[in-house]
Amino acid sequence: MNDTLTILGLESSCDDTAAAILRVGDTAEILAQTVQGQGQLHAAFGGVVPEIAARAHAEKLDLCVAEVLRASGLKLRDMDAIAVTAGPGLIGGVMSGVMCAKGLAAGANLPLIGVNHLAGHALTPRLTDNVPYPYLMLLVSGGHCQFLRVDGPQDYTRLGGTIDDAPGEAFDKTARLLGLPQPGGPAVEVEAALGDPARYAFPRPMLDRPGCDMSFSGLKTALLRTRDTIIAAQGGLTVQDRRDLCAGFQAAMRDALAEKARRALAACPDLRVIAVAGGVAANQAIRGALMQVAAEAGVQFVAPPLALCTDNAAMIAYAGAELFRAGHRDDMTLAARPRWPLDSTAPAMLGSGRKGAKA
């Protein structure tokens, strides 16, 4: 990369309102960033309520922008462009972000760049580790699950994805079924570490089918059935039953993701790096299994720090910088898109998750 760019990024596609200012030259530096979660607003509803999320984004976005400008000591006129998530996601939140970015861009006479949220995740290994193209990316979160071959900022090939639940969604549902707190992933991981993964045998979904597509809703149903069988037999779950159920579930999830990662790497023998992003990448068992798959295949494993794996605006500013360099510009006709697959040639995946569209 050559010229240094200073970019303001905005993110509001799900339940985090975020802003960041990046300086991107040969490497990228995060000058300031903030992420304001909405967990408490949605807690009573057991999931993200789109209308509440959209209103909270509209209230918080300009405060987030003011905060990162103050923290960086910069003014809006010091920016080279404004990058904003224009999809995919919950449409009200995406619209809040796009409207805010349009206002700022028009007011300060700056270029506007609409960024695909998934591209933000997919390019994060370049922001954090300067990973060169091409590389393999596994996006694995509460709303997304896909393997992508990344050849450039606008060049993605989807090798496979979930046809129903995202893994984080399955962890969260498992926690709910077992009376554990939300978000479920960390809670299930803690219990699983104390459990016996072999006591209850759960299916390794879709391993009998070729390719890299995945499915996790059957795993959740299997867990529900096993839980109910135990309760019917003994009147409730012991602490150890719960731990063993968590361990069995997590092992099935780990094996399914690891085997599909093995296949994705086998399908792209020219790739030297596999990277992960998304909240589920925090799971030590899953991370360990992916690391082992990478070692077996002789490729590098890259996992950005967790704060940049989960939803944030630094990744949007960074993707905006790459698009800007590639000559991409948007104008006041930029539209918010609920669905926006990175690989427009791949067939649409089924369904839409609790946190928005899956692909």
**Interface with ligand KG4 (CB under 6 A):** 14, 141-143, 168, 171-172, 183-186, 189, 278-280, 282-283, 310-311, 355
Q: Which residue has the tokens 């404004």?
A: 82
Could you tell me where the beta strands, DSSP code E, fall in 38-119? 81-87, 112-116
Pick 72 or 85: Cβ nearer ligand KG4 = 85
The answer for 145, left when phi > 0, alpha when psi is -120 to 50, beta otherwise, is beta
Pick 93 or 142: Cβ nearer ligand KG4 = 142
Residue 311 binds to Zn ion (criterion: CB under 5 A): yes
Q: Could you give the CA distance from residue 294 to residue 296 in angstroms, rounded to a whole number?
A: 5
Least distance in Å: CB of 152 to Zn ion?
20
185 binds, among Zn ion, ligand KG4, none (CB under 5 to 8 A by kind): ligand KG4
38 in Cβ contact with 47 (< 8 Å): no
Residues from 7 through 66 that contact Zn ion (CB under 5 A): none
276 in Cβ contact with 140 (< 8 Å): yes
Pick 39 or 132: Cβ nearer ligand KG4 = 39
> Residues 292, 264, 147, 301: what is their CA dihedral angle, to the nearest 10 degrees?
30
283 binds, among ligand KG4, Zn ion, none (CB under 5 to 8 A by kind): ligand KG4
183 binds, among Zn ion, ligand KG4, none (CB under 5 to 8 A by kind): ligand KG4
Pick 164 or 330: Cβ nearer ligand KG4 = 164
Least distance in Å: CB of 139 to Zn ion?
8
Q: Could you give the CA distance from residue 115 to residue 88 in angstroms, rounded to a whole number?
A: 9
Pick 14 or 219: Cβ nearer ligand KG4 = 14
Least distance in Å: CB of 83 to Zn ion?
15
Closest C-alpha among 123, 97, 120 to residue 13: 97
Pick 93 or 160: Cβ nearer Zn ion = 93
Q: Which residues contact 177 (CB under 8 A, 6 or more apart)?
A: 220, 223, 224, 227
Contact letters for Zn ion, residues 255-294 (x by CB under 5 A): ----------------------------------------
Residue nearest to ligand KG4 (CB): 185
- Residue 112 pairs in a beta bridge with 82, 330
Q: Could you give the CA distance from residue 65 to residue 46 in angstroms, rounded to a whole number?
A: 29
Per CB under 5 A, residues contacting Zn ion are 311
